[in-house]
Amino acid sequence: METRKLLLLSSSTVWGSGYLDWAEPAIRAALGHARHVAFVPFAAHDHDRYATTARQRFAAMGYALHSLHDTPASLADADALFVGGGNTFRLVAALHHRALIEPIRAFVASGRAFVGSSAGSIVACPTMQTTKDMPAVEPPSFRALDLVPFQISPHFQDPDPSSRHMGETQEQRIGHYHEDNERVVVGLREGSALSVMGDAVTLLGTHTARVFHKAQPPRELPPGRIEHAL
């Protein structure tokens, strides 16, 4: 999609600051002249409460936000979309059951900005198969919005060398994904984001991203343009 404008945040918060504080400059840059933001609250259980939190935070940045759970028509009127984080299974189930996959794809194809955070960033990928969430809800399909050709693994956490826990690390889980799947996986640390403008993919923030190609050693990519490595 030549026209796509996506901002995909690893997380809504980083340690020691408030909701979306760390991401505010990137959100402002991504939204540009947009004023009306449609909100997808379906990764949370309590849509009203989540919409109130998001509405207040976006109002503080000067944007009017309407949630798709109580104002379904707001997608047509919006000039940007924000998909909040939460449980990825719950979010994907809602996107299918509410028939939102194709309308959101058309919205992005029209050149309007898409901002996702955590689960909201995963659903920009071809599938939801790189989530770490519990399958609290059973979606009719793992297919997601397919706005980018790679997978994101948000909240990427490096192994703790002092740990005596035998459960799998995030990197080992991504290895399991690659035993059965082919797509590149971007391990996106908290405080990082991907900006996708047409075919240009830029890693934002101060951290490197850990990028996994099937059957190859992982690579650490520094902030800046990274589409050549995906």
| Residues forming the active site | 118, 133, 155
> Smallest distance from the beta carbon of 80 to a copy of itself, in angstroms?
24
In the bound state with a copy of itself, the residue whose beta carbon lies nearer, of 20 and 38, is 20
In the bound state with a copy of itself, the residue whose beta carbon lies nearer, of 176 and 225, is 176
In the bound state with a copy of itself, the residue whose beta carbon lies nearer, of 79 and 190, is 190
> Smallest distance from the beta carbon of 176 to a copy of itself, in angstroms?
5
> Smallest distance from the beta carbon of 163 to a copy of itself, in angstroms?
8
> Smallest distance from the beta carbon of 109 to a copy of itself, in angstroms?
26
> Smallest distance from the beta carbon of 154 to a copy of itself, in angstroms?
8
Q: Side chain identity at 79, as an amino acid letter? A: D
| Chain contacts with a copy of itself (rule: CB under 8 A) | 11-16, 45, 86-87, 90, 128-138, 141-142, 155, 157, 164-168, 173-174, 176-177, 179-181, 190
**Terminal alpha carbon distance of the chain:** 16
Q: What are phi and psi of 202, to 5 degrees?
A: -120, 130
In the bound state with a copy of itself, the residue whose beta carbon lies nearer, of 34 and 185, is 185
In the bound state with a copy of itself, the residue whose beta carbon lies nearer, of 10 and 74, is 10
Q: What are phi and psi of 20, to 5 degrees?
A: 65, 5
Q: Which residues contact 187 (CB under 8 A, 6 or more apart)?
A: 153, 156, 170, 171, 174, 209, 210, 211, 212, 218
